[in-house]
Chains A and B, each alone.
Chain A
Amino acid sequence: MKESISPREIIDVFNKNTDFKQRIIKNENKNIYIFFIEGMIDRVALTQFVIDNVPKELSLRKAVENGKISFCACAEAESKKAVISGILRGMAAVLDGEDAYLFDVRKTEKRSVSQPDEESSVKASKDCFVEEVKVNTTLLRKKIISEHLVLESIQIGKQSNTEVVLAYMDNVANGDLIKAVREKLDKIDVDGIITPGVIEQYLSSKLYSVFPQTVITERPDKVCRHLLSGRCAVLVDGLPIGYIVPATVSQFMSTPDDYSGNFIFASVVRVLRYFLLFVQVLLPGAYIALTTFHYEMLPSKLALSIAQAKSGVPFPVAFEILAMLALFEVLVQAGLHMPKSSGQAVSIVGALVVGEAAINADLISPAALIIVAVSVICSFAMPNQEFGNGLRLWRVVIALAGSVLGLFGVVAGGIVLLSNFARLESFGVPYLAPFAGVKKIRLRDELVVFPDKLNRFRPSELNVKNRRRTK
């Protein structure tokens, strides 16, 4: 119900803010107040389309209804809260004590749409999300020109009132999924959404899991592809990312480039990625197990070669591997946080210290260094870094288990890791889908890339309304 809003009340709310500006235009009927936050509005637009057109004889309502004050983005504010929210978002509020209107003359400083930093692609589109949610929704609209693309806006955050947009295809996505996502978003009870972790935590079903349960992406084309498959996406104002749910393991292993070129080559690369997943997690633990407990499995020449390389090193193999893994993590963190100017120096120090000097000083054996290096390189081949981070942690756990119990420990660690995957669900969809936990196991377009021409059906585990993509 519309309430009458006193300009005095608005002034009282904002009067301590130096960037809050007001303009009073005397009118025959009443004074017309124009409130805005300096720096967030387009001054020219506000002057040209609003202030210059405020009539001196008509009431505010008549002026807007008759088109005297003509501006395309104009909405009536029905409550004080709406006025305050509009001013805070950069709109200009025009009040006369009875009516209140918000004019969207925002001119916020925003980054232009640029290339993605972390998910770069050779052939696929090179636009990425920015901090402005309106720009992001525009990017989606440009790729899916359909009335079925629904973008619902919700405000989340007690203090920040951040605009969060829920995107889905209403003729494809399962109604229960949309409802569940909306409920989760409504349940978010935080001060503000400033960091990406907040939304992710609330959208995840299991908080205490190192593996991500939402796909976070900076690419609009990736979001659109998943929307067309029947998933939902969440965009947040102020964050240059989109969240896609439900999330499954296969999504973390695919990249947009898989669909940009020849599907056979892309299939080989994707199968290789899955192989690298196993290598990066199991290789250090298996190496420790084989060289400490099960040396009979090594061919005799290889065993002698490894023994030769290790002779003189005072530390056991397990310590070497774990220390190297820790050192590589330190290098990775240093690489993330150091200034660009010192990058070269750190690379040289890392290579010299870790590589050359440590081996010459017989502190580590070359074989151990190679094993850890291979494992680390495999981990960087993972398309999704959050997923890769979880696997890196488990790599250490499995290496520890291997050092304590040999291959039995590696297998036990593997079982526990797999059980973590098997128990995870994202909005009712098993995390291991479509490889396990679904009615029909599907390898096409998950383990191997299928050409779009033959990819006629949407994923069955999403229980979409319309399974057929094409005629």
Chain B
Amino acid sequence: MRKMSMRQTLMMVVSIIFSPTVRLFSAFVSGRGDQGAWVAPIVAGCGMILFVLVLDRLIRDNRNFYQHLEYSFGIFGAKALAWIYILWGILLSSVQIRYYAQRVASTIYTEIDMGVFVFIFLAICVYVLNSGIVTVARMNELFLPVILIVTVALLGLLSAKIDLRALFPVNNPLSIAHVALFNLASMGYVTFTLFFVDEIEQKEKFKKYAVWGTIGVSLCLVWLLLAVIGTIGPTVIEKLPYPFFAVVKQISIGEFLQHIEAFVITLWIVSDFVMTCFISSAILKLMGLVTKKGNTRELLIPYFALCACLVPMMGRTNFELETLSEKVFIPLNLILLFAMPIVILLVGRIKNKIKKHCAGERKMI
């Protein structure tokens, strides 16, 4: 079985954090955190680093996610929880695909039905995933630097237009903390690393890479929010479905480079592609473990066909989609991606202690 390195896995996690935060985050946060929203990623990053320590413990146990569930909750408990994760994963994939299609169809291809983009996107996912998640990991090693370089370049160009007066004063700590939770909900995708533990090499490097990745992502997000809010102000952002897209429209270097939003949208497609493949692979792997089916490749087409059917049901408008994310998926993400691993760790440790205690008693007897 081909394996991924820890670096490749966490690079994929960074890519999949990029997409939802860039598209969704700035709208959420500016509406709720106002001009001080740019502080939120720093708060979220601190929380994330603590969570990384929890995940590191779980990864070092050398068990994948399902094995952890079995160890902590028994076979039936594990199966029930696994099916919850599977259902959630299918819905999550569908909503992400819907976001991607909605974005493309409402920004640069306004006259085309989003079904075209859904179909082509899923066809590419099936084609690529046929050779395994390792292929996507290798592709992402080339995608992510390009995405980062372009994003940093765009933010650099936008920095000249930042009006600092739009960013201060920062005077609403409670709402910033609330907004930081939103950020955490997307950073939580790092938990999917647990699903692939048996396909990852260099597990001992997880803590180092994850901490540095968190710091990097948080700083990037801070800069992103500074650029978006500082350029057009929080009141305008609230009205826009895709603030970063709107802000990128402003970038113009002389008469040479302008209106590059179409190019940026297509870069996001790359990030969405990695995200869909990563999450889908994790869920399919979990399905394989639950149903004890070795090769889940034949489930690819049914899985994506199901997602394609669910895509139109995720909401009719962008507003409904955002409300669904805010009310349903963000809390679910927080529970399933954060709370659950912590519970698994605690239950596992308690079980270990009980076992050791019982073993000690037996020895004495």
Give A residues with C-beta under 8 Å from B: 293-294, 296-297, 299-301, 405-408, 410-412, 415-416, 418-419, 422-423, 430, 432, 435-437, 439, 441
Q: Are B259 and A297 in contact (CB under 8 A)?
A: yes
Residue of A nearest to B128 (CB): A419
Q: Is A408 a contact of B141 with CB atoms below 8 Å?
A: no
The listed residue with most A CB atoms (<10 A of its CB), out of B124, B257, B262, is B262
Q: Does B174 contact A (CB under 8 A)?
A: no
Please choose the segment from B76-84, B266-274, B300-308 that sits at the chain A interface, where 4 or more of its residues have CB less than 8 A away.
B266-274
* Complex Cα–Cα for A143 and B91 (A): 62
Q: Which residue of A has the minimal Cβ distance to B11?
A: A436
Interface string of B168-202 (1 = CB under 8 A from A): 00000000000000000000000000000000011
Contact A299 B262 (CB under 8 A): no
What are 14 sample pairs from A and B whose C-beta atoms fall under 8 A apart?
A296-B259, A406-B108, A407-B266, A410-B266, A411-B270, A412-B269, A415-B270, A415-B273, A419-B124, A423-B135, A437-B8, A439-B5, A439-B202, A441-B141
Specify which chain B residues have a CB less than 8 angstroms from the CB of A423 in the assembled complex: 128, 131, 135
B138 & A411 in contact (Cβ 8 Å cutoff)? no
Interface presence of B142 (CB below 8 A)? yes
User: B260: CB under 8 A from chain A?
Assistant: yes
Q: In the bound complex, do residue A437 and residue B262 qualify as a contact, i.e. CB atoms below 8 Å apart?
A: no
Residues of B within 8 A of A297 (CB): 258-260, 262-263
Residue among B120, B137, B138, B266 with most chain A CB within 10 A: B138
Tell yes or no: B104 within 8 A of A by CB. Answer: yes
Indicate if the CB atoms of B109 and A419 lie closer than 8 Å: no
Q: Residue B256 at the A interface, CB < 8 A?
A: yes
The answer to whether A294 and B262 touch (CB under 8 A), given A418-B142, A419-B139, A437-B138, is: yes
Chain A CB within 8 A of B242 CB: no
Q: Quick one: given A297-B260, A297-B262, A301-B255, are A435 and B108 in contact (CB under 8 Å)? A: no
A419 contacts B135, C-beta separation under 8 Å: yes
Residues of A within 8 Å of B142, CB to CB, are 418, 432, 435-436
Chain B's nearest CB lies how many Å from the CB of A420? 9
Tell me whether A411 and B266 are in contact in the complex, defined as CB-CB below 8 angstroms, given that A419-B135, A430-B138 are known contacts. Answer: yes
B7 to chain A, nearest CB (A): 8
Known: A408-B104, A422-B135, A432-B142. A296 touches B262 (CB 8 A): yes
Instruction: Identify whether the interface residues of A are mostly helix, strand, loop, or mixed.
Output: helix
Residues of A contacting B139 in the complex (Cβ-Cβ under 8 angstroms): 415, 418-419, 422, 436
Residue among A293, A412, A432 with the most chain B CB within 10 A? Answer: A412
Residues of A within 8 A of B212 (CB): none
CA distance A435 to B145 in the complex (A): 11
Q: Does the CB pair A412–B262 fall under 8 Å?
A: no
Residues of A within 8 A of B135 (CB): 419, 422-423
Q: Which 3 A-B pairs have the closest CB atoms?
A: A436-B141, A422-B138, A423-B131
Distance from A440 Cβ to chain B, minimum over Cβ atoms (Å): 9
**Known pairs A435-B141, A439-B201 / 12 extra A-B pairs, C-beta < 8 Å:** A293-B108, A296-B259, A297-B259, A297-B260, A297-B262, A297-B263, A299-B255, A406-B109, A408-B120, A415-B273, A416-B124, A436-B142
The distance in angstroms between the C-alpha atoms of A395 and B190, with both chains bound, is 36
Residue B73 at the chain A interface, CB threshold 8 Å? no
> A416-B124, A419-B128 given as contacts; is B138 within 8 A of A408 (CB)?
no
Residues of A within 8 A of B128 (CB): 415-416, 419, 423
Residues of chain B at the chain A interface (Cβ within 8 Å): 5, 7-8, 104, 108-109, 116-117, 120-121, 124, 127-128, 131, 134-139, 141-143, 201-202, 255-260, 262-263, 265-267, 269-270, 273
Q: Is the CB of A408 within 8 A of B117?
A: yes
On whether the beta carbons of B127 and A419 are closer than 8 Å, the reply is: yes
- Of B127, B255, B263, B273, chain A has the most CB atoms within 10 Å of the CB of B263
In angstroms, how far is the closest chain B Cβ from the Cβ of A205? 12
A408 touching B266 in the complex, CB below 8 Å, given contacts A422-B135, A423-B131:
yes
CB-CB under 8 A for A432 and B256, given A408-B269, A423-B131: no
Contacts of B109 in A (CB 8 A): 293, 406, 408
Distance in angstroms from B354 CB to nearest chain A CB is 39
Closest partner residue, chain A, to B131 (CB atom): A423
A314 → chain B closest CB, angstroms: 24
- Whether B273 and A407, one on each chain, are in contact in the complex, defined by CB atoms closer than 8 angstroms, is no
Cα distance A435–B146 in the bound complex, in angstroms: 13
Asked if A437 contacts B141 (CB within 8 A), the reply is: yes
* B residues less than 8 Å from A419 (CB atoms): 124, 127-128, 131, 135-136, 139
User: Contacts of A411 on B, CB cut-off 8 Å?
Assistant: 266-267, 269-270
Q: Please determine whether A416 and B127 come into contact, CB atoms closer than 8 angstroms.
A: yes
Q: Which residues of A contact B121 (CB under 8 A)?
A: 412
Q: Which of B256, B265, B267 contacts A299 (CB 8 A)?
A: B256
Complex: A293 Cα to B111 Cα, angstroms: 11
In the bound assembly, the distance between CA atoms of A82 and B134 in angstroms comes to: 49
Do B202 and A294 touch (CB < 8 A)? no
| Assembly CA distance A410 to B267 (angstroms) | 11
Kindly provide the distance from the CB of A376 to the nearest chain B CB, expressed in whole angstroms.
24
Residues in A whose Cβ lies below 8 Å from that of B138: 422, 430, 432, 436-437
Picked from B108, B201, B259, the residue with its CB within 8 Å of the CB of A407 is: B108
**Set of chain A residues within 8 Å of B263, measured between Cβ atoms:** 297, 407
Of all chain B residues, the one with the shortest Cβ separation from A289 is: B262
- Chain B residues with CB below 8 A from A416, complex form: 124, 127-128
User: Within 8 Å CB of B104, what residues of A?
Assistant: 408
How near does chain A come to B261, taking the closest CB pair, in angstroms? 8
Q: Which residues of A contact B8 (CB under 8 A)?
A: 437
Most B CB contacts (10 A, CB to CB) among A301, A407, A410 go to: A407
How close is B66's CB to chain A, nearest CB, in angstroms? 27
User: Beyond A406-B109, A407-B108, A422-B139, is A415–B259 a contact (Cβ under 8 Å)?
Assistant: no
A407 touches B141 (CB 8 A): no
- Which of B124, B259, B260 is close to A412, meaning CB atoms less than 8 Å apart? B124
Q: Cα distance A430–B265 when bound, in Å?
A: 30
CA distance A411 to B267 in the complex (A): 8
- Tell me the nearest residue of chain A to B267, going by C-beta: A411
Q: How far is B257's CA from A251's CA once the two chains are assembled, in angstroms? A: 34
A437, B137: Cα distance in complex, Å: 8
Residue among A297, A406, A408, A432 with most chain B CB within 10 A: A408
A255 → chain B, closest Cβ, in Å?
23
In the assembled complex, which residues on chain A have CB atoms less than 8 Å from the CB atom of B255?
A: 299-301
A299 touching B258, Cβ below 8 Å: yes
Within the complex, what minimum Cβ distance (angstroms) separates A211 from chain B?
Answer: 15
User: Given contacts A297-B260, A436-B138, are A415 and B131 in contact (CB under 8 A)?
Assistant: no
Complex CA gap A422/B141 in Å reads: 10
Residues from chain B with a CB closer than 8 A to the CB of A439 are 5, 7, 201-202
Distance of B121 from chain A, by nearest CB (Å):
8
A410 to chain B, nearest CB (A): 7
A302 to B180, CA, bound (A): 44
Give the Cβ gap from A298 to chain B, nearest Cβ, in Å: 8
- Chain A's nearest CB lies how many Å from the CB of B175? 36
Q: Please, which residue of chain B has its CB at the minimum distance from the CB of A297?
A: B259
The chain B residue with its CB closest to the CB of A300 is: B255
Q: B131 to chain A: which residues have CB within 8 Å?
A: 419, 422-423
With both chains docked as a complex, state the minimum distance between the C-beta of A226 and any C-beta of chain B, in angstroms.
23
In the complex, the answer to whether A412 meets B120 with C-beta atoms within 8 Å is yes
A415 to B140, CA, bound (A): 10
Query: In the complex, A114→B127 CA distance in Å?
Result: 46
The residue on B at minimum CB distance from A407 is B266
Chain B residues near A418: list those with CB within 8 A: 139, 142-143
Instruction: List, in ascending order, chain B residues with CB within 8 A of A412's CB.
Output: 120-121, 124, 269
Give the CA-CA distance A130 to B266 in the complex, in Å: 49
